[in-house]
Homo-oligomer: A and B are copies of this chain.
Amino acid sequence: MSLKRYLIGKPLANERLDHERLNKRTALAVLSSDAISSVAYATDQILFVLGGAIGVAGLQYVFPISAVIVGLLVLVGISYQQTIHAYPGGGGSYTVAKENLGQRAGLIAAAALLTDYILTVAVSVSGGVAAITSAYPSLVPHTVAIGIGAIMLLMVVNLRGVREAGIAFSIPTYAFIAMMLVLIGMGLWKLRNGVTPIEVVAPLGVDKTTVQHGGSFPAGYALLFLLLRGFAEGCAAMTGTEAISNGVQAFKAPTQRNAAVTLSWMVAILATFFLGVSYMAHQYAVMPTTAETVLSQLGHHVFGTGLAYYALQYSTFAILVLAANTAFADFPRLAGILANDKFMPSQLAARGDRLAFSNGIISLALIAMLLVWLFKGDTNALIPLYAIGVFVCFTLSQAGMVMHWLRSRERGWRWRAALNGVGALATGVVSVIQIVTKFTEGAWIVALIIPLFIVILQSIQTHYRRFAIDIAFRGRSPILPHAHTVVVPISAVNKATAAALVYATTLSRNVRAIHIEVDAKATPKLEREWDRWDIGYELETLASPYRSIVAPLVEYVRTIQAETPGALVTVVTPELVPRHWWEYLLHNKTALYIRTAFLFKPNVVVVAVPYLLGHDYEHEERGPRWTAEASVITGETRR
């Protein structure tokens, strides 16, 4: 508990939940880290696909493919400008799809988004770790440990409740933007001034003979499929594009205008960086390896091994961790919305001590850590799973916008619908390309997980719906049970059983003290003590040939219920509460077993009366003084 306080901090009151509004510069830093940071791995993915099949010859295709992706990016960007216009409160894919296309489409969007957020964490953290291990190759064996450590750090920070503090978020984003501008600027200058790369790094997993002799160079459909697969992998560059249209309400007034301008900036920056990196990768003939990223190799070519190179790597790591952090804000928020719509467990809608959706944050961290561990922290292994969810969401969201304009018919609805329609069509086609070309590389996992998520969300809602009907109280008053029998199992005469018996006496006139005979040799002593005690009840003895406490008790209660239909039965047991945890090991868990045994039996309530070992009941001012001299409990002393 004190460790928790130290890590998470003191609880925060509800009033602290109001929002801070962001100006454009800060909003760009906060909302676009996910999108911009994609350049740290997107070009690598295209080259991995091409290099793996046709070696260095693949370099010729990297720029054209990147250009196509940037075209798609601009299209999607324009399309999301319409969403900003229509949803000033923030138009997440789930909301837009549900409102315009119905609940089923909303569910698909929700499932796709959830997988997308999980993969954002796993991919971004793995990419960040790759930036570090590229700079320090000796850290490669610790890839998984560093990744899991980074996710745990993000979890703790988010459980503390990150106020989206402008400066803390601006530094990594703008540092990365600055380093990228320097890299691209210096790189292009060097290329113009005739600096040529020193060596061609052989890509991993490439059959060298194929590369050198141009042996089985693919043609026709095989080449088309290869290029499409490279395109599909490169589309990872587009993840995060929707962030600004989701977070419109975070902007200062004029809200929508500011959001629209920031979105344009973001698209421009991302497009420039992505094209720049892809162009330079071609010119410097850079091939990524599992040990070193494209960006790191370009950094070496342009900056050598000086300070500027390390600044590039650290800023890459920082912006990628920030990108993972956006998922830590988005996943729990979506889970909370889904919980309010009864598609997810209600616990996910509860804010924790620090006003964060704690359960959602912890769930996300655990799943992402599992993924990093399973995929050994390898970005390239995770990427084929990524982007599919994103494109499904793009498609649903924009298709939803088409419906929105067709219905609203507000000014400009025709061209807005047309724009969104083209966007939906394009991203829809890309979704199909994603699934088909990457299917055997891991896309099948996502093709399984998204429907599975949908089934789970659906059955959770079914449960809550049935539950609501089951438990609904239809305005009429309940009646009291007409008979109430209280059963007190007695194993010994002591203060704990006395407390239980006194408590039982306050519940009903009909108290039955019973002794479950596990060891026949102990019975006479107990009966003597009971008679000496003279509490006013008979002690019934139940045989227990199989030495179980619970079974004869359950049978006894069943008999009472059979004799008196409509009877409520309460079983009162003493519960010893020791001072130290290890002392728990020294006492039977009878109270717990009894509670468990009756949990599924209707009209039976189990009451455990705690007796605190070492507590000075006798000298306590308030509370029953169990050993005080007093008359025998009879009908008169009872209430």
- A positions within 8 Å CB-CB of B: 11-15, 345-347, 350-353, 460, 463-464, 466-467, 470-481, 484, 493-499, 501-503, 505-508, 518, 520, 532-535, 545-548, 561, 564-568, 576-577, 583, 585-588, 598-600, 602-615, 617, 620-633, 637-639
Contact: B546 with A478, CB < 8 Å?
no
What residues of B have a CB within 8 angstroms of the CB of A603 in the complex?
Answer: 620, 622-624
Contact: B611 with A471, CB < 8 Å?
yes
Would you list 23 pairs from A and B whose C-beta atoms are within 8 A, ordered by A residue?
A11-B546, A12-B546, A345-B585, A350-B547, A352-B547, A473-B493, A473-B498, A476-B630, A477-B533, A477-B633, A478-B499, A478-B627, A479-B625, A480-B624, A481-B624, A566-B621, A566-B624, A567-B622, A567-B623, A598-B610, A602-B610, A602-B623, A606-B608
Contact: A460 with B345, CB < 8 Å?
no
> Assuming A473-B495, A494-B472, A533-B473, is B617 touching A602 (CB within 8 A)?
yes
Of the candidates B351, B501, B612, the one whose C-beta lies within 8 Å of that of A547 is B351
> Assuming A463-B583, A637-B480, is B623 touching A568 (CB within 8 A)?
yes
The CA of A547 and the CA of B354, in the complex, are separated in Å by 10
Contact: B587 with A346, CB < 8 Å?
yes
Contact: A605 with B609, CB < 8 Å?
yes
> Assuming A351-B547, A495-B473, A603-B624, is B478 touching A502 (CB within 8 A)?
yes
The CA of A480 and the CA of B606, in the complex, are separated in Å by 20
Contact: B481 with A506, CB < 8 Å?
yes
Contact: B630 with A602, CB < 8 Å?
no
Known: A480-B624, A564-B622. 17 other contacts (CB 8 A): A11-B546, A13-B545, A13-B546, A14-B546, A345-B585, A346-B587, A347-B588, A463-B583, A470-B613, A473-B627, A476-B628, A476-B630, A479-B625, A480-B638, A503-B568, A577-B599, A605-B609
Contact: A624 with B568, CB < 8 Å?
yes
> Assuming A477-B631, A502-B478, A565-B621, is B600 touching A546 (CB within 8 A)?
no
Contact: B588 with A346, CB < 8 Å?
yes
A331 to chain B, nearest CB (A): 18
Interface residue SS majority, chain A? loop
A123 to chain B, nearest CB (A): 28
What residues of B have a CB within 8 angstroms of the CB of A629 in the complex?
Answer: 476
The CA of A496 and the CA of B585, in the complex, are separated in Å by 34
What residues of B have a CB within 8 angstroms of the CB of A548 in the complex?
Answer: 11
Q: Closest B-chain residue to A580, C-beta based?
A: B463
Taking each of A345, A546, A609, A638, which has the highest tally of chain B beta carbons within 10 Å of its own beta carbon? A546
Of the candidates B347, B470, B501, the one whose C-beta lies within 8 Å of that of A478 is B501
The CA of A499 and the CA of B479, in the complex, are separated in Å by 9
Q: Closest B-chain residue to A536, C-beta based?
A: B477
What residues of B have a CB within 8 angstroms of the CB of A499 in the complex?
Answer: 478
Contact: B566 with A622, CB < 8 Å?
yes
The CA of A353 and the CA of B518, in the complex, are separated in Å by 12
Contact: A479 with B545, CB < 8 Å?
no
Contact: B478 with A565, CB < 8 Å?
no
The CA of A533 and the CA of B473, in the complex, are separated in Å by 9
> Assuming A463-B586, A588-B347, A600-B612, is B473 touching A623 (CB within 8 A)?
no
Contact: B561 with A477, CB < 8 Å?
no
Contact: B506 with A478, CB < 8 Å?
no
What residues of B have a CB within 8 angstroms of the CB of A617 in the complex?
Answer: 602
What residues of B have a CB within 8 angstroms of the CB of A639 in the complex?
Answer: 480, 484, 508
What residues of B have a CB within 8 angstroms of the CB of A599 in the complex?
Answer: 577, 610
The CA of A568 and the CA of B617, in the complex, are separated in Å by 13
Contact: A478 with B507, CB < 8 Å?
no
Contact: B586 with A628, CB < 8 Å?
no
A12 to chain B, nearest CB (A): 7
Contact: B622 with A479, CB < 8 Å?
no
Contact: A464 with B586, CB < 8 Å?
yes
Of the candidates B605, B622, B625, the one whose C-beta lies within 8 Å of that of A561 is B622
What residues of B have a CB within 8 angstroms of the CB of A466 in the complex?
Answer: 614
Q: Closest B-chain residue to A479, C-beta based?
A: B630
Contact: B623 with A476, CB < 8 Å?
no
The CA of A539 and the CA of B190, in the complex, are separated in Å by 77
Contact: B481 with A502, CB < 8 Å?
yes
The CA of A168 and the CA of B184, in the complex, are separated in Å by 83
The CA of A606 and the CA of B478, in the complex, are separated in Å by 22
Contact: B477 with A632, CB < 8 Å?
yes
What residues of B have a CB within 8 angstroms of the CB of A577 in the complex?
Answer: 599-600
